[in-house]
Structure 1
Amino acid sequence: MDFELNTLNLADAAREKCDAIVMLVTSTFKAGKDPLSLLAGEALKAKHLEAKAGKLLQAYRSAGIAAPRVVLAGAGDGSGKKVHAAVAAAVASLRSSGAKRLLICLPAGSAEDAVRAAVVGTAEASYVYVTTKSKPEGRELQRVHVAVEDSQRFKAAFAAAKGVASGIEFAREIANLPPNIATPTRLGEEAKGLAKAHGFQCEVMGPKEIARIGMGSFLSVAQGSEQPARFIVLQHQGGAAGDAPIVLVGKGITFDSGGISIKPSAEMDEMKFDMGGAASVLGTFRALGDIQPAINVVGLIPTCENMPDGKAVKPGDIVTSLSGQTIEILNTDAEGRLILCDALTYAERFKPSAVVDIATLTGACVVALGGVRSGLFSSDDALASALSAAGEAALDLCWRMPLDDEYADGLKSNFADVANVGGRAGGAITAAKFLQRFAAKFPWAHLDVAGTAWKSGAAKGATGRPVGLLVQYLLTEAANRPVAKPAKKAATKPAPKSRSKAKAK
């Protein structure tokens, strides 16, 4: 979908030739003399329209308006949150209308958050998964014009919003693919495609290279599947050569059967979404490719299947992680932390300024926070505050959870350095405490997105969260960092690489 930002008032908008107009109406709206204002004013006066966010009124072939369809959408106080709700409802109402070219008129006095919300809300509401359908119908909207008072003022915010929208859609598309297509190998290919299109550095390692590095915990999860594991390393070098990068680590379990500790069959199909963390990292890099912020970012994706084969890891097995710590596997369905811990240790070689891991990690987090907010765990207050603020700004919310030392007591083992589970009580926290053991050498945060990365029921599908949060965090960090002089070529240091450069097999 193509987005375009235009300087248009309501009188200009009424003359625009398009398939539909979405006009946002706030609680402080004052009608002018143009056809759109008069239409909205009459609707409000007759109480056929409310300015409450999400309330709609459709009109057809209105006098003085070139577009055949007009959707008047209540936008409350005009804030980003209300605009997002209004645009999402309006665009959803036009899904089956055949509209290909849409004009969205933002309220007078709108701020940057409203522009961002209009773009992202439109992209989210118009997304339809069609990749594996025999009749790919439903993706009708092709071009969206966003009308504001002064397009130049919102140029940067609009460009960032388009990048976020493309990143969210990319993440949703990858996560929605069936597990026989979205294999670890496919994720590696997608990473290479992003690197080629946007100039990232990319390395994709196979089982031999992963074993040579010493990722015994990661490979223990993969050993029960015929699909070979992949370890993906993506790098965006937008900052100065010596700047410490931010590392994003995404859990990439492309299908989670539970392994020997097998899951119930009901809704097991949704375990294709267990690579939602990996999808969000790929989606974030898709957005970085468009926006090109001045910051160094590394993406690490350990990806494999968790299957119950004769070679699969068993409850009671003990494995050795990349850090050298031994792990007693008491439950093979607690596999995400086993692949993430090795990736966290690998992150040390980049000497990062911060590391954020993203994972559909625990059902316990769904019980605690539902599908509204992602769980945020962090050993660093400043990092936690930055991520929380980014979530608020991006309307991609999270909530900080505790990390008291006492929560780690249940992870004690008589036979290894640590067990991989600690009982049902506080399950999301004990999972985070497990990961914290492998993240002591840098500021670290963990986002448990088990409740927010996808939806079940009639709306089943990936959400693309928390791409919005991650991109907003990175953009804020880039803006707050001092502008560094470009490094001389002779002084440029190569980015850290794995010990093996062999091709994945």
Structure 2
Amino acid sequence: MNVTVEKRSAWWTVACDELVLPLWKEEELAQVYPELDQRFAGGLAALQQDKEISGEAKSVAVVHTMSRLQAKKLIVIGMGDREKADFVSIRAAWGRAAKTVGGKGSGKTVAVDLRGGRELSTSRFAQAVTEAFCLASYHYEGYRQKPKREAEPLGTVKLLVGSDEEAASAMLGVMRGEALAQGTNLARTLVNEPGNYLTPRALKDAAVAVAKRFGMAYEVLTKDKLEEMGMGGLLAVAKGSVEEPYVVVVKYQGTETWEDVIGLIGKGVTFDTGGISIKPVAGMEAMKSDMGGAAAVIGALEALGQIKPRANVLAVIGCVENMPSGTAFKPGDVITTMSGKTVEIITTDAEGRMVLADCITYARKQGVSCLVDAATLTGGAVVALGHYCSAALTNDEALVSELLSAAAQAGERLWQLPLFEEYCELNKSRYADLKNSGGRYGHCIIGGAFLREFAEDTPWVHLDIAGTAYTSSAKDMQPAGGTGVMVRTLAQFVMNRNQSNA
């Protein structure tokens, strides 16, 4: 799908298959688009009077033009209350529009009136519309013998603006929207891939492919190197699987000097059986999504490679599989991590924190100025926040404020949970420095407290996306499956680190 920007001409001359117009709750269509209403001999005003056209949120009206316009269909999207509108609600409205347009037949052209108004700048409005169409058009085919999809992809979405100045601003929004959506869709695909296809090697290859595509420096740490470096936590998780473990290190350098480096850490457990502490069979198939944190980091790198902000990022992605076998690590084992800290294994199903512990230590040793890790870490995050909001825990209030702000800008929900010292005490062990499970209650917080031990004095935020990385049902711009959550937040966070890209 191609997104372009054009200056408006007379509405009836716009060359497209479908013309899409936004309408706010308080607006009269005939007053906003009087020329169009005249072409319909007052018919559009009559349709609004009969409530077949409405500015109410979630309203979508389709009008066949009967050759009154070059467009075959006129689609009116209800935008809701203008005073309450924000980036999220506007993107959602256009996501519903994207689900309506197109229909059968590929390559169709849709023209959109980019009427931003006071609620968003032209650039942000263009970004919202672009993200909506790109995210809503995502489709994962999978491995069916005969491909099947409900609707063919659009060919072109034309954003119509009123001036050259608006066009320049809109193009910036389109570029950012496409980059962020493409990064999100890449992450969705990685999460949707089955575990027998997306092995640790394949996940490693996906990260390397992004690095190569944008000329980013990268290094792949293989098992021998991991052993040499003492990454005992990650290697313990990998022991039960025939799949080799990897750590992928990618450097995005957007400034002349390699300083003020942001560390992004991704948990990449490509399938999690729970290991010896095996999970119940019900729902285990969804554990292919346990690499959602790694997918978020890889997707963010994809977006950053396109947007090119003036900032520096060190991405560290741990790629392993957690399986039960005669060689698997087991409850009661004591593992020495890369940091030198020892960990008593209470449950092998708390494996993600072992992977992250070593990846965090590696990033710290590389001298990053701050750390953000993303992981499908705990079922406790799902219990606490459900499937509509990710959790954030931190040792640095200023840093988490940046993440919360970035999430709001990106239109993703993020909520900070407390990290009191009492929770940290629960991770203490009789036989080692730490234990990898401090109890059931407050599990999400306890998992974050464990990771804090490895972040030490480096400013750090942990993003638990266990409840948001995968969904069993479709909604708005999100089909069932991988969500690509936190791609846009991480990318926005990096962009905000340089004011010229904020």
Give the TM-score of the pair, scaled to structure 2.
0.91
Counterpart among 258, 268, 279 of residue 295 in structure 2: 279
User: What is the aligned partner in structure 2 of residue 115 from structure 1?
Assistant: 126
Q: Which shows bigger deviation, 141-150 or 395-404?
A: 141-150
Where in structure 2 are the equivalents of 1:89-108 lying within 5 Å? 89-94=96-101, 96-98=103-105, 100=107, 101-108=109-116
User: What is the aligned partner in structure 1 of residue 323 from structure 2?
Assistant: 307
Which residue type is aligned with residue 87 of structure 2? G
User: What is the aligned partner in structure 2 of residue 467 from structure 1?
Assistant: 487
User: What is the aligned partner in structure 2 of residue 502 from structure 1?
Assistant: none
User: What is the aligned partner in structure 2 of residue 33 from structure 1?
Assistant: 34
Where in structure 2 are the equivalents of 1:423-462 lying within 5 Å? 423-457=439-473, 459-462=479-482
SS in 2 for 1:145: strand
Gaps of 5+ in 1: 483-505
* Percent of aligned positions that are identical: 36
Counterpart among 152, 158, 163 of residue 145 in structure 1: 158
CA gap 1:437/1:303 in 2 versus in 1, 3 angstroms: same
Deviations 1:352-378 (A, max 9, x none): 221100001111111111122110111
Whether 1:193 aligns to 2:197 is no
Where in structure 2 are the equivalents of 1:104-253 lying within 5 Å? 104-109=112-117, 110-111=120-121, 112-138=123-149, 139-149=152-162, 150-253=166-269
Whether 1:85 aligns to 2:92 is yes
8 Å CA contact 1:233–1:300 kept in 2: the answer is yes
8 Å CA contact 2:258–2:312 kept in 1: the answer is no
2-side partners of 1:399 and 1:192: how far apart?
31
Question: What is the Cα deviation at residue 81 of structure 1?
Answer: 2.1
2-side partners of 1:270 and 1:276: how far apart?
11
Whether 1:49 aligns to 2:44 is no
2-side partners of 1:152 and 1:390: how far apart?
24
SS in 1 for 2:205: helix
Deviations 1:41-64 (A, max 9, x none): 443222113212221111223453
SS in 2 for 1:251: strand
2-side partners of 1:324 and 1:353: how far apart?
21
CA gap 1:481/1:113 in 2 versus in 1, 3 angstroms: closer
8 Å CA contact 1:397–1:469 kept in 2: the answer is no
Whether 1:69 aligns to 2:76 is no
8 Å CA contact 1:53–1:83 kept in 2: the answer is no
8 Å CA contact 1:331–1:421 kept in 2: the answer is yes
RMSD: 1.9
1-side partners of 2:501 and 2:5: how far apart?
28
Deviations 1:38-91 (A, max 9, x none): 665443222113212221111223453212123211112253222212111121
Question: What is the Cα deviation at residue 481 of structure 1?
Answer: 9.2
Where in structure 2 are the equivalents of 1:221-370 lying within 5 Å? 221-370=237-386
Which residue type is aligned with residue 463 of structure 1? T
SS in 1 for 2:158: strand
CA gap 1:28/1:79 in 2 versus in 1, 3 angstroms: farther
Q: Which shows bigger deviation, 445-454 or 72-81?
A: 72-81
2-side partners of 1:157 and 1:204: how far apart?
34
CA gap 1:406/1:464 in 2 versus in 1, 3 angstroms: same
SS in 2 for 1:151: helix
User: What is the aligned partner in structure 2 of residue 476 from structure 1?
Assistant: 496
1-side partners of 2:46 and 2:316: how far apart?
55
8 Å CA contact 1:206–1:230 kept in 2: the answer is yes
8 Å CA contact 1:80–1:116 kept in 2: the answer is no
Question: What is the Cα deviation at residue 113 of structure 1?
Answer: 2.9
1-side partners of 2:87 and 2:19: how far apart?
19
User: What is the aligned partner in structure 2 of residue 488 from structure 1?
Assistant: none
Give the TM-score of the pair, scaled to structure 1.
0.91
Deviations 1:467-489 (A, max 9, x none): 1111111111122699xxxxxxx
